[in-house]
Amino acid sequence: MRIPVDPSDWLILIPEFILLGTAIAILMIDAFAKAASDRSSPWISLAGTAGAIVAAVFLWGNPLSGFGGMIVNDDFGVLVSTAILTGTALAVLISVDYVRREELPAGEYYALILLSTIGMLLMVSSANLIMIFLSLEVLSIALYVLTGFARMRPRSQEAGMKYFLLGSFSAAILVYGVALIYGATGTVDLQSIADELISPGVLGNPVLLAGAGLVLVGLGFKVAAVPFQMWTPDVYEGAPSTVAAFMSIGSKAAAFAALVRVLIFAMGGLRPEWLAAVWVIAALTMTVGNLVAIAQDNIKRMLAYSSIAHAGYILVAVAAANRLGLQSIPFYLIAYAFMNLGAWAVVTAVTRKGEEAVGLSDYSGLFWSHPVLAGSMGLFMFALAGIPPTAGFTAKIYVFMAAVAADMIGLLIIAIVTTIISAYFYLRVTVIMFMERPAEPPVVTVPTPLAVAIAVAAAGTIWLFLFPGVTQSFTDTVARLL
Amino acid sequence: MIAELVIFIILGTVAVATGVAVILSKNPVHAVLFLVINFFSVAMFYLVLSAQFVAFLQILVYAGAIMVLFLFVVMLLNLTGAIESVQDKLPAQKWVGLALGIALLLEAGVVTAAGVFRQVPAAPPPSPNFGTSAPVGVKLFFDYLLPFEVTSVLLLIAIVGSIVLARRRTY
C-alpha cells in the first residue's frame, strides 16, 4: 500500500494551514456569536496572519519540495510570501474601521481576505501548472466576491461583475495554455518541463510556444500588464478601498511569483522566444500606466494606473531573467507592499462613508489640517515615484541594474523616461496637499489601527531604503536558485 | 484510423455548431438546451479518448445537475424581456471582433496547413484499464492529492461568497 504523502510534506503548508484554521474559526464565531465576531474578527485575522508570517520565516533556508513536486519551498517563495502576508496584515489593519463604517459583514469579509491569501501563498509555492491554475482560482474567486462586497453601492457590484467575467476569461486562457504546454511536453510539472526543454525537438515546437504565450496572457491579466489591464481602473475604483489595497499587493505578487517560476525556472531555455513578448509588454505597461495616470482626477483610479505601471517595472526584471533580476523581484514586491499599502491607507482615511471624497481635490490643503497624514502620503508618493530616501528608489535602482546586466538598454531607457514622467502625477498629489489652502478643511478622522498601519508602512518604506542590505543578503540566496 | 477521423469530424461539427448556437440564441431556454447537446458531444470526445470515467462525470455533473440548475434559474428569472432591451453601446466592436476572429482563424489555418503541428510525437497507446475509475482515483488521491484538497478551499470560498452576495438581509 502506497502512502499518499510523506507526513513531512505538510510542513511546507503550515502558513496556509494557520490561515485556513483562522478563517474557519472566524466563520464559526460569526455563525454562533454575531456580536462578538464583529468586534473580534479583525484581531483574530491579524493574529492568524502574524502566525503565518512566523511560520513562513521559520521555513526560510529549508529548500523543501512536497506532494511529488507539486509545491516547493525555496527562499524566493518565502520572500514573496512575506510580501503578501505583510500586505494582508496591513490590509486587515486598515479594514478595522472601514468595515464598521461601511457596514460590511465583518466575519465573511475577514474570512475571505484570509482564504484569498491562502490562494496567493499556494500560488507562490506552486511548482506545477495545475497547482498554479487552482491557486489562481482560489485567490481570484475570493477577490471577485470582495470586490462586489459593498452590495449597496452599484459601483462595487459593477466592478465585481466586470472583474468576475474578465477574470474567468483570463483563467480560461491560462488553462488553454496549460493544456497546450502539456500537449507539447507531456507534463505539467515545472521541473520536468525544464528538463524536456533540453531536447531540440521540443524547443521549437509551435504548440509549446502557443501554450507559453497563453499562460503569459493569463498571468499578465493578474499582474495588470498592458494590454490586459482594462479591468484594473474600474475594479480598483468600484471595490472597497481596503480590498483594492489588498489585491494590489497580493494578487500581483502571487502572479509574479508564478510568472517567474513558469518563464524563468521552467522555460528559461525558451527565453530567446518569450523575451520579445515580455519586452513589448513591459514597455507598453510602463508607458501606458504612467501616461494615463496623469489624466486621472480620482485618486483610486490614479493608484490603479500606478499599480499597472509598477507591474511594468517588475516585468523588466522578469525580462532580464538574470541573478540581479531575480533578486530585485522579491525586493521590489516587499517595498511595493509597504509604499502602496501606505498610500491606500491614507486614501481609506480620507474617503468618507459610501466611498465619497476620492477626488484629488479632496486632498487639497490636507497638510494644514492633518500634517502627519499628509506628510506620510507625501512619503508614499515619493516612494512610488522612486525618489530617495525611500524603498521605491532602491527597488527601481535594482531593476535598472538588472536591465543593464542583461544588456537591455532600450527597455532601461523606457523605464527611466517613464519614471520621470510618473514623478509628475505623484508629486501633483503632494503639491495639492501642501500648497493649496482650501476654503474649508477636509473632514478626516484617523482611527488608531489605521494610524498604526500608516506608521508601519512609512517605517518599512524608509527602513528598506536605509538598510537594503538586510533584504539584500536574503535575496542573495534567491539568486543561487538560477 | 479513418473511423476515428470520421467520428471526430462529426462530433467536432456538432460541438462547434451547438457552441455557436448557444451564444446566438435569443431565447435563454434554447441557449441552455443547445449547451446540453454541446456537453454531450464533449462527453463523446472523452469517450473517444478512452477516458470513460471523465465522460460519464461530464454527463452526470454538467449535462445533468448543472444544466437542470441553469434551466431552473432561467425559468425563475424569466429573462426574455430583459434581453431584448439590452443596448449595445459600442456596435463597432462587433465588427472589429469579427475581423480579429477571422484573422486568428486564418492564422491558425495557415500554421496548421504548413504542417508545423505534425512535429508533435504520437502518444503511446494507453494501458488497458486507462480511463476507468480506478486509475483516475489513484491519480487523484496519490499524485494529485494536494490539488484535490485545495479544491475544498475553493468550494468553501464559493459557498461563503455566494451567501454573502445573495443574502437578503443587509448590514
Residue pLDDT, tens place only, A443-464:
787 889 999 999 999 999 999 8
Position A204 pLDDT exceeds 80? no
Identify all chain B residues contacting A104, using CB atoms and an 8 Å cutoff. Answer: 171
CA distance A390 to A430: 15
Q: Do A134 and B117 touch (CB under 8 A)?
A: no
Sign of the Cα torsion B159, A83, A225, A430 reads positive
Measured between CA atoms, the residue of chain B closest to residue A157 is: B165
Position A169 pLDDT exceeds 60? yes
Q: Do A111 and B165 touch (CB under 8 A)?
A: no
Percent of chain A predicted with pLDDT > 70 = 95
- Average pLDDT over chain A, rounded to an integer: 89
CA distance A371 to A151: 34
What pLDDT does residue A475 have? 62
Angle (deg, nearest 10), helices A106-125 and B145-166? 150
A307 Cα distance to chain centroid: 9
CA atoms within 13 A on the CB side of A289: 37
Q: Do B161 and A142 touch (CB under 8 A)?
A: yes
- Residues 148-167 on B with a CB inside 8 Å of A are 150-151, 153-154, 156-158, 160-161, 163-165
Domain ranges of chain B: 1-83, 132-171
CA distance A28 to B16: 46
Kindly state the average pLDDT of the residues A269-281: 91
CA distance B70 to A295: 43
CATH 1.20.120.1200 fits B1-83, yes or no: yes
Read off the pTM: 0.91
Mutate to test the interface with B, among A125, A137, A175, A199 (most CBs of B within 10 A): A137
Residue A210 confidence class, pLDDT cut points 50, 70, 90: confident
What pLDDT does residue B168 have? 65
Q: Do A137 and B171 touch (CB under 8 A)?
A: no
What pLDDT does residue A436 have? 79
Angular region, B87: left φ>0, alpha ψ -120 to 50, beta rest: beta
Across A106-229, where does the E strand assignment appear?
Answer: none
What pLDDT does residue A434 have? 87
CA distance A160 to A238: 8
Q: Which of A27, A128, A151 sits opposite B165 (nearest CB)?
A: A151
Q: Residue B117 is placed in which grid cell?
A: 503541428
Among candidates A314, A139, A124, A311, which has minimal Cα distance to A227? A311
